[in-house]
Amino acid sequence: MSQFRTLDDANLNNKRVLLRVDLNVPMENGKVTDATRIERVVPTITEIADKGGKVIILAHFGRPKGRDPKESLKPVATELSRIIKRPVAFADDCIGDAAKAAVDKIKAGDILVLENTRFHKEEEKNDPAFAEKLAALGDIYVNDAFSAAHRAHASTEGLGRKLPAYAGRTMQAELDALSKALLAPAKPMIAIVGGAKVSSKIDLLENLVSRVDALMIGGGMANTFLHAQGIAVGKSLAERDLADVARRIMAKAEDAKCAIILPVDAIVAFHFEANAPSHAYGADAIPADGMILDIGPLSIERVNHAIDDAATLLWNGPLGAFELPPFDRGTVAAARHAAERT
């Protein structure tokens, strides 16, 4: 049984439900190129609407510095409407008169997307006054944005203190699976952690090395660890100022007898764009003007061997720039192998 409140515990009928989801999807020329994140939250959206709730969606998009039309959620709302096959209204702000007017218009069962929460700098600062303005638009708060829940922002953490809070179905599934993996995992336990930045996952990494038998690090994060070991990573994304943090995590892993697995080769391109010409290089031979955008074939084998060894597998984040083909190959290959093992 879940140790947190879910939609099963909420009276949704005719309630204004502030639903935090992750709609930070890849876009190209104003069009959504991968709707996976949208599709994952559809069950929660439709359940709330079908139970008579007024669905008021909160989400961030990109990293805007103030209001920026290129970072608007309006085209995402259009894509959501297409996928869900229902009308989806849109408000051009997430607080203030525009948001209130849009909320006041919707009826039970309607769906409304509010504009990018990050158009306001107070969002990422978890400003209590900003959270209060968001809370004024709803009666109930539902968090279904597991992928953004580690950030203490106003719409992810602050709102949970202002309104009765519940987990959406995606959040519920993730937390149930995570509890099963961390509270009583079958051993050996292997974790794969990818994504762009070590800075957003320092606490996660330091926590995991004391719990798992091996930790595979991929994505841009791996470049930071390679750099920390004195390996040149060219023009690749790497948080070079966090080299000491990476070394501290590796030392903590060694003390905990947790093996750290890093890429031994990489797919390198010289332009960050879809289908850019690319080649595999050893991790110790990255060209000075090249960018690591995916793990290479030898590293895919290493990941697959780690998956084969695992009785429990915990995975968070991609192993490369998976939004851009062909740099999704490492992530997809490992995911398929994990699916075969499951």
pLDDT tens sequence across 289-317: 999 999 999 999 999 999 999 999 999 89
Task: Read off the pLDDT of each residue in 7-14 and give the average, rounded to a whole number.
Answer: 96
The answer to whether domain 7-170 and domain 182-341 are alike in fold is: yes
pLDDT category at 4 given cuts 50, 70, 90 is confident
Gap between the Cα atoms of 203 and 221, Å rounded:
14
Residue 175 has pLDDT above 50, yes or no: yes
- Cis check for the bond before 64: say yes or no (omega within 30 of 0): no
The dihedral through the CA atoms of 305, 310, 312, 314 has a sign that is negative
Q: What is the mean pLDDT of the chain?
A: 94
Helix, strand or coil, per DSSP, at residue 334? helix
Q: Where are the alpha helices (DSSP H) in 85-218?
A: 96-105, 128-135, 169-183, 202-208
Percent of the chain scored above 70 by pLDDT? 99
Which fold does the domain 182-341 belong to in CATH? Rossmann fold (3.40.50)
Per-residue model confidence (pLDDT) at position 149: 82
Average pLDDT over residues 168-190: 88
**pTM > 0.75: yes or no:** no
How many Å apart are CA 13 and CA 318, to the nearest integer? Answer: 38
- For 152-166, what is each residue's pLDDT tens digit? 899 999 999 999 999
CB 218 within 8 A of CB 198: no
**DSSP 3-state assignment of 154?**
helix
Indicate the length of the chain as a whole number. 342
**Cα–chain center distance at 277:** 28
pLDDT at 1 > cutoff 50: no
- How many alpha carbons fall within 13 Å on the CB side of residue 40? 20
Q: 101-129: buried (b, 16+ CB within 10 Å) or exposed (e) per residue?
A: ebbeebeebbbbbbbbbbbbebbbebbee
d(CA 195, CA 216): 12
Q: How many CB atoms lie within 10 A of CB 195?
A: 19
Tokens (6 digits) for 54: 């007024």
Residue 320 has pLDDT above 50, yes or no: yes
* Cis status, amide bond into 326, omega within 30 of 0: yes
Determine the average pLDDT of the residues in 5-14.
Answer: 96
The CATH number of domain 7-170 is 3.40.50.2300: no
pLDDT tens-digit readout, 116-160: 999 999 999 999 999 999 999 999 999 999 888 878 899 999 999
Rg, Å, the chain Cα set: 21
- pLDDT of 264 strictly over 70: yes
Taking the C-alpha atoms of residue 59 and residue 267, their distance in angstroms, rounded to an integer, is: 32
Domain definitions of the chain by residue range: 7-170, 182-341
